[in-house]
A and B are shown apart, each in its own frame.
Chain A
């Protein structure tokens, strides 16, 4: 009797949780659906659930809003930022993990503190500085700034991965005559591939999603996707259909990448503090 009611409770719990998850996913689905509705269905006061899909809004953003160009910008900036961040973060994490660094704890702690600064606080001085050195409105400025914003995160999470590699392995390599640089290249790098992939995916998504730098530091042709969405929405008369299609273009890659990351989510989002 007891087990039977326990089993029922378990099913009830599963059903309730499935409903809750559906509730969290619904807004995302509602936007994607909306991008395929005709204006009449989209702007109808009572929601339309069943409709004949149309590609009008998608054709509109392809021909009028230059989506391919902004998509390319997003891909270039996010990929370059990811590689530059990883190239700087792995040696730094290796150094922090293996060598007696001067004031190591202070460095680790301050790296985390840097993330407490809301990006908006440094955007004004950066804007002034970068105008002066003539980097305004280039891919380079987006890549450099995004890298500096992502580095504290990347170093700390990378350190949590390097800490897991047994020290005996690099000691063996140095006995065999490897220099510290050789150890990094020959043993740490190959053993950190899963860490690099995980952090790389996070950095890619964060950079892809970034709005403030992209909105401030470049204009017109070099804009990545998020500021284009922002612009489409702050106009007076919003073109809802195209805006939803554009919002969908931005979100789709994030979904696929986030799905492949789910195992590392807890570790990544707490900068390595929770192993999950």
Chain B
């Protein structure tokens, strides 16, 4: 226990304490602009839940998470399966694929802001060459959502790929040899052997991806700043604006707690299913 004490003290002071502070603040009407505050019970929560901007932000976040993470999973899994088809390890290709994952998120936002720029962006140019006409990636409310999803899929598909590939490599080879000798169809191998055996690893990959995805902030802040017209206003951008721009600590704290509760429930369900199996 003595060995754990310094680290746990550190975490308590700088992570647990702020959590309790924000739990307390969520039951007050605290604003940084005024020294006076009082307890208001659940009023701040009620105000958040009935606030159209907050609810809109939850919807945007849910849509972003579900779409981006599913796409990342599907593409990442396909890529991992195709890497398994090749002989050899191809370590350089794997290392290169990890660069988007580790890349600084503000730079990622910058890159996509450059490529999607309506005046000189290369993707807009490619679109008009392919006959798609002028696509307003960042100024159209629908396309802006597509833009942040495209950016996220680019950055995080390699993460899914890597985890799932590590999982595929750990599967017992004799099962697949037996299936091949028996003349099993590819489709049957995939759904009958690969997917069931991969279930725990898939859950781990989804849990970790969701965990990071809920916190997505920097890249979207740089790319769209939540706009146009709040169309890409992820919950993290909402909290940042409430807390640090409007200095409404109570509202930001209540929003944070509502997000925390949702995140915990979703991740716990996946966690219980997968993580226990992976260990």
Contact = CB atoms under 8 A, between A and B. Distances in A.
Interface residues of B, number: 94
A166 B79 CA distance: 36
B173 interface: no
B259 A121 contact: yes
B106 A262 contact: no
Contact of B4 (A16, A45, A95, A148): A95
Interface string A11-35: 0011011101100110110110010
Interface of A, secondary structure class, is: helix
A17 B86 contact: yes
Interface in A241-276: 243-244, 247-248, 250-251, 254-255, 257-259, 261-262, 265-266, 269-271, 273-276
A257 to B, nearest CB: 8
A43 interface: yes
Interface residues of A, number: 95
A205 to B, nearest CB: 6
A20 B253 contact: no
Contacts, number: 279
A27 B111 CA distance: 7
B19 to A, nearest CB: 6
Contacts of A148: 10-11, 13-15
Contacts of A208: 104
B211 A115 contact: yes
Contacts of A196: none
B228 interface: no
Nearest to B210: A116
A24 B100 contact: yes
B83 interface: yes
Given A117-B19, A233-B113, A145 B14 contact: yes
A258 B110 contact: no
A175 interface: no
Interface in A86-145: 88-89, 91-92, 94-96, 99, 101-102, 107, 111, 113-129, 144-145
Given A212-B217, A229-B106, A259-B99, 12 more contacts: A21-B97, A95-B4, A99-B1, A116-B267, A118-B263, A147-B14, A209-B103, A226-B105, A233-B106, A234-B222, A258-B99, A274-B167
